[in-house]
Amino acid sequence: MKATVIATFFGVFHICTYAAKEATKKTKKAKLYVPQIDCDVKAGKIINPEFIAKCPPGCQDVKYRVYGTDIYASFSSVCNAAIHSGIIDNAGGKILVQKVAGHSGYRGSFSNGVRSLSLPRWRESFLVSEGKPRKGVTYPSTLEYSSSKSTTVKSEPKKPEQDLKATKSADTANTSEKASEQGNAGHKEHQTPPVPTPATQMATTTPTPTTTTTDPSTTPKPTTTPATTRTTTAAAAAKTRPGMHRVRDIGSSSVHPAYASVVAAASRQIQAAQGRGQNTAFRGTSTSASNRNILRSNTGIQRQEPVAAGSPAHLAMETDLWKPGLSLFDAGFSSKEKLNPKPLESISHGNPNCKVDLSFLMDGSWSIGKRRFQLQKQFLGNVAQALGIGSAGPLMGIVQYGDDHSTEFNLKTYANSKDLRNAIEKITQKGGLSNVGKALSFVNKNFFSDANGNRGGAPNVVVVMVDGWPTDRVEEASRLARESGINIFFVTIEAAAESEKQNVIEPNFVDKAVCRTNGFYSINVPSWFSLHKVVQPLVKRVCDTDQLVCSKTCLNSADIGFVIDGSSSVGTSNFRTVLQFVANISKEFEISDTDTRIGAVQYTYEQRLEFNFDKYSTKQDVLSAIKRISYWSGGTSTGAAISYASEQLFSKSKPNKRKIMILITDGRSYDDVRVPAMAAHQNGVIAYSIGVAWAAQDELEAIATDPDKEHSFFVDEFDNLYRFVNQLIQNICTEFNSQPRN
């Protein structure tokens, strides 16, 4: 009996155990259903802060635009961004998307067959990775899409006789990226899945969109590899120098301890001559510069060193192309200028007429040699003195480059010229190649941050010191820096001779790098011994803030005039929706007296100037002014309104501003629009037309600047205007970044 009971017990036990195991297997085998998204879906349209989705084939297309590299602005195509990052190819596939905070700059690049674009900043970003679930995170099987509409401008109470769309929210329009406002009643949930919930209780809600600059700590920093340890012997140094890079002779670079005393003696002679103010300071030393040859190992090429300083050949500097007919040293400065400029009487607050944030890229390569490296330090110290460093004037930091780059000190390290000069004197040479492109990329990503002392309102300027030519390419890194608003200057010393140009990696590298190719941003010095003569001309240029055009980005360099249809067919409620659309566009720009300015005209049969460009100089004042615009009601004379805006707004635009007209209308005009629109185009106005409901497509195309498809938009109802906020800003920035650089 007992045996029977025990056998029965064990039988039941095994059955239960087997059933439990099978149930566990079934649970483990349960697959996550992955929702599919279209190629044109942008990350900002999806509310879920983290999700896995499947991209269809064929998303590798220029019409699906991507902004950024590695970290993408949220109005990028999700699937094309995944192709750009290499997670999938054009055949499609599963991807994991994570929303992160907005960034102050997105750099464009060409990767995996996709060209991404640059953007100064955006309110929200996202990361793309392989479509595998993270441990402890539950992913939705359907995605929640946003069509929310912000409520910066509140609607007036609806009147039954005026409200033709009582079932719609006519008082709002949105910036479609506001995924964090998930409680907003304006959200339309196409699908209602649960939001991903990590096992840990970390917040995953998408950050609230903002127009402020993000904390630089949120920006991933590139991994840098420490430079390999270099020996000081001539033999070891020669092994590390490639054949295409210039190598100084032993007399000008301390490549062996045996020559240390010679170099030290030469330095003492230089310093003694400077103290006496002699022009022969750089002439006869034990290692005469006039006898120095420039060698290029393994090439057999030799170039005789330029003749000694003070000779006619050294004084015949290049003509300054920025101001035709004016010699570089005739720009109000004496060619016999002493090496040490006269100290400023007060430097605690700095020179208020030169408020710039300045980074010098200092050449620390082996090609320069110890002696010329010392001359470079003296030059930088003299520039610091001439600038008048201070909190209310210019701030200056230095990055030294060789094989790699290192920040010697940033913008906020020193607040006066004296301390800065002392710090410069203590800089030691890195050695290595002349990797300028690598250093420019580092400066663009890291140097001009709030943490490093960047002041925002001051132009960002980079001055690159180059001995000969770079050993890497600079064009792409320079383009990204310019698109970020950085003004790039090049000071090239002892440029390549005709016989050496075949060895230059990137011909015309200066024109490919500088902010503009008109000569203002480049200075060529034939000899290191003449470098002290360009101190004042360089200072004059970097302090001429009106000429620093690369500080301008698509968001801070325009006069934007809104031309708003106030005709009877619009109605009071829809008019408030139009004003919300205008406000949502305006708030994306950097608004001030010197940045983007906003103006507005309302029209019916007649026209009314609501406010001009110089009326309001802060973003809050502009948004408040938009909110106060009252609905007029009347007929529709769009042609007359364009002429009125040209006369009352754009004729008073500043010369250095891009003139942008954004016209919103809901019907066909009673007058001709073609002639006024053509006149506006000829006067430099870039026109965007937005048509609603009964607007005529042929008129919208006639009003818009060519190409029409980039400047003309149509929606079937006012409540859908918000859809074009991002597209409009994207097109404005794309057009800005395509401007010629001459």
Q: Give the per-residue pLDDT at 299.
A: 31
Q: Give the span between the Cα atoms of 316 and 275, in whole angstroms.
A: 26
**R_g over Cα of the chain:** 32
685 or 245, which is more confident?
A: 685
Nearest to 165 by CA among 697, 723, 666: 666
Q: Give the per-residue pLDDT at 30.
A: 53
Phi, psi of 77, rounded to the nearest 5 degrees: -65, 125
List, for residues 421-449, the tens digit of each pLDDT value. 999 999 999 999 999 999 999 999 999 98
List, for residues 78-122, the tens digit of each pLDDT value. 999 999 999 999 999 999 999 998 887 888 888 888 888 888 778
Question: Residue 533 corresponds to which tokens in the numbers above?
Answer: 């003569």
Q: Give the span between the Cα atoms of 663 and 600, in whole angstroms.
A: 10
Calculate what percentage of the chain has a pLDDT beyond 70.
Answer: 68
Asked whether 428 and 406 are in contact (CB, 8 A), the reply is: no
List, for residues 131-174, the tens digit of each pLDDT value. 999 888 899 999 998 754 333 333 333 333 333 333 333 333 33
List, for residues 185-231, the tens digit of each pLDDT value. 333 333 333 434 333 333 333 333 333 333 433 334 344 333 333 33
Going by their DSSP bridges, the two strands 50-55 and 93-103 should be labelled as antiparallel
Indicate whether 125 pLDDT > 50.
yes
Query: Residue 31: pLDDT band by 50, 70, 90 thresholds?
Result: low
Question: Residue 57 corresponds to which tokens in the numbers above?
Answer: 């084939």
Please name the residues in contact with 91: beta carbons below 8 A apart, sequence gap of 6 or more. 57
Asked whether 665 and 704 are in contact (CB, 8 A), the reply is: no
Q: Give the span between the Cα atoms of 472 and 39, in whole angstroms.
A: 36
What does pLDDT average to over the chain?
75
Question: Residue 278 corresponds to which tokens in the numbers above?
Answer: 């002699």
List, for residues 541-593, the tens digit of each pLDDT value. 999 988 887 877 788 889 999 999 999 999 999 999 999 999 999 999 989 88
Nearest to 215 by CA among 454, 460, 487, 457: 454
Asked whether 276 and 254 are in contact (CB, 8 A), the reply is: no
Question: Residue 654 corresponds to which tokens in the numbers above?
Answer: 């500043």
Indicate whether 24 pLDDT > 70.
no
Asked whether 276 and 270 are in contact (CB, 8 A), the reply is: no
Q: Give the per-residue pLDDT at 7.
A: 53
Q: Taking phi first (over 0 means left), then psi (-120 to 50 degrees means alpha), and beta for anything else, what does residue 478 get? A: alpha
Q: Give the span between the Cα atoms of 601 and 647, in whole angstroms.
A: 11
Phi, psi of 255, rounded to the nearest 5 degrees: -90, -5
Quick one: average pLDDT of 3-27?
A: 52
Q: Is 457 exposed, middle or buried (0-12, 13-18, 19+ CB in 10 A)?
A: exposed
Q: Give the per-residue pLDDT at 174.
A: 39
Angle of helix 369-387 relative to helix 417-425, nearest 10 degrees?
Answer: 170
Q: Give the per-residue pLDDT at 160.
A: 34
What are the respective helix, strand and coil percentages of the chain, to the nearest 5? 35, 20, 45
Phi, psi of 30, rounded to the nearest 5 degrees: -60, 125
List, for residues 361-405, the tens digit of each pLDDT value. 999 999 888 999 999 999 999 999 999 999 889 999 999 999 999
Nearest to 81 by CA among 40, 120, 47, 45: 40
Q: Give the span between the Cα atoms of 440 and 444, in whole angstroms.
A: 6
Indicate whether 74 pLDDT > 80.
yes
